[in-house]
Amino acid sequence: MMICGLCYFLVHISRRMLYYGLALYTMLLIHIYEGEYNVRKDTAIHQKEICGWIEVRLYRTQTTKPSIPCLRLKVELRKLIVQMIEQKNVTHFISGMALGIDTYAAEMVLDLKTDFPFTTLECALPCETQAAKWSERYRNRYFEIVERCDKETMLQRHYSSDCMQKRNRYMVENADFVLAVWDGSPSGTCMTVTYAHSLGKSVWTLDPNTLSVTIE
């Protein structure tokens, strides 16, 4: 089973090649349960289509109208998501739902369901109050994505200083690939990418400044 990660967004991707030729039609039903992780929606997933996670660095813009560099970044990010679906058999994406790239990427996956109806989106939420201090506009977008996603995983109910790190580790640990929008600077993303490397994950990095892509 192959797993991948996306943009403070993690993408869970499937390795169909790993199960190629195997009649694995057993359905996995993810039940709502009580414990460390709380899953809102029951999701039936074909066993040969289980995918990995992608993690991407938070990239914010302070203006209401996206800048040209931001629009170009979105175009390149969308290309990478499509590439993962078509070339790496990615079927399931996980977003950390931070303001910026996370929500952009999540919206892209939802939009791509038109062309790739088998893809699914999971929202990995660090706590219940993640969007509490956002503007009304961005809160509405946040809750709309959560409502439309296929699976919602809440790492814990109340905020703590390490809840974001717990979310990032959750995504990486359940991924085969990590897609990071990151410029190489010291940050939480740097720590997450380092953690992904330590677990032997394949990391795809999109530099937000040069738009160059590195695959390791």
The enclosing H or E element of 9 equals strand 9-10
Q: What is the pLDDT of residue 97?
A: 95
Range of the structural domain that residue 57 is part of: 5-215
pLDDT at 212: 95
From start to end of 82-208, where are the E strands? Answer: 92-95, 120-125, 151-154, 177-181, 202-206
Longest dimension (CA), the chain: 51
CA dihedral 163, 165, 167, 169 (to 10 degrees): -140
Domains identified in the chain, total number: 1
3-state helix, strand, coil in the chain (%, to 5): 35, 20, 45
- Angle at which helix 101-112 crosses helix 136-148, to 10 degrees, equals 40
pTM: 0.73
Residue 133 tokens, joined = 């201090």
164 CB-side CA count, 13 A: 17
Return per-residue pLDDT of the chain as tens, 216 residues: 444 555 444 544 443 333 322 222 222 222 222 333 444 333 333 333 334 444 443 334 344 455 678 889 999 999 999 999 999 998 999 999 999 989 999 999 999 999 999 999 999 999 999 999 999 999 999 999 999 999 999 999 999 999 999 999 999 998 888 899 999 999 888 999 999 999 999 999 999 999 999 999
pLDDT number for residue 148 = 97
d(CA 51, CA 100): 23
Distance CA 181, CA 73 (A): 9
Could you tell me the CATH number of the domain that includes residue 92? Answer: 3.40.50.450
**Which pLDDT score is estimated for 21?**
29
Q: Write down the pLDDT at residue 63.
A: 44
pLDDT at 22: 28
Question: How does strand 43-46 pair with strand 27-30?
Answer: antiparallel
Instruction: Give the per-residue pLDDT at 188.
Output: 85
Give residue 46's identity as a one-letter amino acid code: H
**Bridge-partner residues for 125, per DSSP?**
154
